[in-house]
């Protein structure tokens, strides 16, 4: 066994973690994960737990997906890299594009533009949205709308449409021309409205008001997650996303669905947009597209948007955007194998069934633990418990206490994620009912530890 204290010291002196204070890795050394199998991870000290985070909402098929590992190994042997910039392509990415086109056909999406991850996908979608309007001679449409509490990655474009100050304040000034409307977040919202349907209407009205205020002719696109993930698993009322679609269509504003988390089955449907009966103009994907085994993403493009680019005669449609790793053959091979396994195992169905068990279990915890202010989820395998130190005042729990919840849950059998005052659960979609029980027991123990 490796010496864990020595590794933790080395980690602290040589490595800065994303989304963490650089000094924190000495004060609160991270768990050193050294292995994984199925839906479980094990650490350097030999402790094994169910991974209720699912990597980072991406390891949908678990850690032992042999076909994906084999596809990666084979592709590395045959062609480890080549660029897809104009002039060259590769067979893996051609085949993947055909498969994705079929998979996303019900969403009206017909072309793929490849990226290296979610933030790249968001950046790509924002750029393509502006370019779409320029091609059409509508160059005044440059602004973006998004939801407060939304998360869209950390590039400057994505951070600008991000709806959480933690990812913005230290990096301002961000991109001008980005405006945020209230999210349909029933537990806390500026309207004091707790009824989901009424709240949805109020948020849609706020959107319509913002468009009138800005002038529709200045707005390129609205970006939203069908279920808000990192912001704390906010599941909108069923009228919300269709309402957004209707308003965007009425005003010529493109709708970008950020499905970096929700595409490929997490919500119980194959995509979050499909779940709400909405066809977006652009869709950002990443994460589960390769089950987390390779950094990769794709922006899917609606037929009418593709046509605008492809039929352009003005010369404005040439795409001055792309990444060294766009269409990476190893990523493409991983994605192809992943998609085949995702469909074969019908992981969306297991996400819906196990998600219902998990949600029922965490809801029951709200009755037992005064610490639980709100429980959200119920749409596939993603849940959040928002913890408070005072239920009546809805005072968010402090960082140290929620850290203790996480530690106790880990000791009791599950890795959970904490983000602000939220415990977030997003396990692999292939977990069993027994695994769900293990997670619930661990969360319960975590909450009991600080009660």
Q: How far is CA 392 from the centre of its chain?
A: 31
Is the CB of 248 or the CB of 284 nearer to ligand PMP?
284
Looking at 52, 53, 260, 447, which residue binds ligand PMP (CB under 6 A)? 260
Is the CB of 68 or the CB of 256 nearer to ligand PMP?
256
Please identify, among the stretches 61-69, 114-122, 125-133, 384-392, the one whose residues bind ligand PMP according to the rule CB under 6 A.
Answer: 114-122
The answer to whether 221 contacts ligand PMP (rule: CB under 6 A) is no
Is the CB of 233 or the CB of 372 nearer to ligand PMP?
233
- Tell me the backbone φ, ψ of residue 166, rounded to 5 degrees: -60, -30
Looking at 119, 279, 326, 350, which residue binds ligand PMP (CB under 6 A)? 119
- Which string of x and - marks every residue 353-382 that binds ligand PMP (by CB under 6 A)? ------------------------------
Looking at 53, 92, 93, 122, which residue binds ligand PMP (CB under 6 A)? 122
What is the C-alpha to C-alpha distance for residues 288 and 266, in angstroms, rounded to an integer?
A: 9
Is the CB of 97 or the CB of 146 nearer to ligand PMP?
146
Looking at 49, 278, 286, 385, which residue binds ligand PMP (CB under 6 A)? 286
What is the C-alpha to C-alpha distance for residues 156 and 148, in angstroms, rounded to an integer?
A: 17
The answer to whether 152 contacts ligand PMP (rule: CB under 6 A) is yes
Residue among 382, 397, 391 nearest 431 (CA): 382
What minimum distance in Å lies between the beta carbon of 438 and ligand PMP?
A: 24
Q: Which residue is nearest to ligand PMP (CB)?
A: 118
Looking at 225, 281, 341, 386, which residue binds ligand PMP (CB under 6 A)? 225
| CA distances from residue 71 to 80, 237, 388 in whole angstroms, order as listed | 12, 40, 46
What minimum distance in Å lies between the beta carbon of 246 and ligand PMP?
A: 22
The answer to whether 147 contacts ligand PMP (rule: CB under 6 A) is no
The answer to whether 263 contacts ligand PMP (rule: CB under 6 A) is no
Is the CB of 151 or the CB of 294 nearer to ligand PMP?
151
Please identify, among the stretches 81-89, 225-233, 245-253, 367-375, the one whose residues bind ligand PMP according to the rule CB under 6 A.
Answer: 225-233
The answer to whether 255 contacts ligand PMP (rule: CB under 6 A) is no
Looking at 118, 163, 268, 427, which residue binds ligand PMP (CB under 6 A)? 118
The answer to whether 261 contacts ligand PMP (rule: CB under 6 A) is yes
The answer to whether 230 contacts ligand PMP (rule: CB under 6 A) is yes
What is the C-alpha to C-alpha distance for residues 131 and 128, in angstroms, rounded to an integer?
A: 5
Looking at 258, 341, 374, 386, which residue binds ligand PMP (CB under 6 A)? 258
What minimum distance in Å lies between the beta carbon of 362 and ligand PMP?
A: 20
What minimum distance in Å lies between the beta carbon of 155 and ligand PMP?
A: 8
- Tell me the backbone φ, ψ of residue 350, rounded to 5 degrees: -70, -35
Give the interface size with ligand PMP as a residue count (CB under 6 A): 14
Looking at 153, 232, 377, 427, which residue binds ligand PMP (CB under 6 A)? 153
Looking at 103, 114, 132, 151, which residue binds ligand PMP (CB under 6 A)? 151
Is the CB of 151 or the CB of 202 nearer to ligand PMP?
151
- Tell me the backbone φ, ψ of residue 354, rounded to 5 degrees: -70, -30
Please identify, among the stretches 31-39, 233-241, 257-265, 392-400, the one whose residues bind ligand PMP according to the rule CB under 6 A.
Answer: 257-265
The answer to whether 418 contacts ligand PMP (rule: CB under 6 A) is no
**Contacting residues toward ligand PMP, per CB under 6 A:** 117-119, 122, 151-153, 225, 229-230, 258, 260-261, 286
């Amino acid at each position: 066994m490796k010496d864990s204290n020595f590794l933790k010291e080395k980690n602290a002196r040589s490595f800065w973690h994303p989304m963490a204070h650089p000094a924190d890795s000495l004060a609160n050394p991270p768990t050193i994960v050294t292995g994984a199998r199925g839906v479980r991870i094990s650490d350097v000290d030999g402790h094994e737990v169910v991974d209720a985070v699912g990597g980072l909402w991406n390891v949908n098929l678990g850690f032992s997906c042999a076909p994906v590992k084999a596809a990666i190994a084979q592709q590395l042997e045959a062609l480890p890299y080549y660029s897809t910039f104009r002039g060259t392509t590769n067979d893996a990415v051609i085949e993947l594009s055909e498969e994705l086109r079929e998979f996303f056909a019900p969403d009206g999406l017909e072309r793929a533009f490849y990226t290296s991850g979610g933030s790249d996908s968001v950046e790509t979608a924002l750029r393509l949205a502006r370019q779409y309007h320029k091609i059409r001679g509508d160059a005044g449409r440059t602004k973006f709308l998004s939801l407060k509490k939304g998360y869209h990655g950390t590039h400057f474009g994505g951070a600008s449409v991000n709806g959480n100050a933690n990812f913005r304040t230290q990096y301002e000034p961000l991109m001008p021309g980005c405006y945020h409307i209230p999210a349909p977040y029933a537990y806390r919202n500026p309207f004091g409205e707790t009824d989901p349907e009424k709240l949805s209407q109020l948020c849609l009205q706020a959107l319509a008001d913002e468009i009138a205020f800005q002038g529709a002719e200045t707005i390129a696109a609205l970006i939203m997650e069908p279920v808000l993930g990192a912001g704390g698993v906010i599941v909108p009322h069923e009228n919300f996303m269709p309402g957004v679609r209707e308003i965007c269509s009425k005003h010529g504003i493109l709708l970008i669905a950020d499905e970096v988390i929700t595409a490929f089955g997490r919500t119980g449907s194959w995509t979050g947009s499909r779940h709400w009966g909405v066809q977006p103009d652009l869709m950002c994907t990443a994460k589960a597209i390769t089950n987390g085994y390779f950094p990769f993403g794709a922006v899917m493009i609606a037929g009418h948007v593709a046509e605008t680019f492809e039929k352009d005669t003005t010369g404005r449609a040439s795409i001055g955007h792309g990444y060294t790793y766009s269409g990476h053959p190893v990523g493409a091979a991983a994605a192809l194998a992943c998609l085949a396994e995702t469909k074969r195992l019908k992981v969306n169905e297991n996400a819906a069934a196990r998600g219902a068990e998990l949600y029922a279990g965490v809801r029951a915890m709200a009755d037992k633990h005064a610490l639980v202010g709100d429980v959200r989820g119920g749409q596939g395998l993603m849940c959040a418990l928002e913890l408070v130190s005072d239920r009546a005042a809805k005072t968010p729990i402090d960082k140290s206490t929620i850290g203790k919840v996480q530690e106790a849950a880990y000791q009791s059998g599950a890795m959970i994620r904490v983000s602000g005052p939220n415990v977030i659960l997003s396990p692999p979609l292939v977990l069993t009912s027994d695994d769900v029980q293990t997670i619930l027991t661990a969360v319960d123990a975590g909450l009991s530890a600080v009660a």
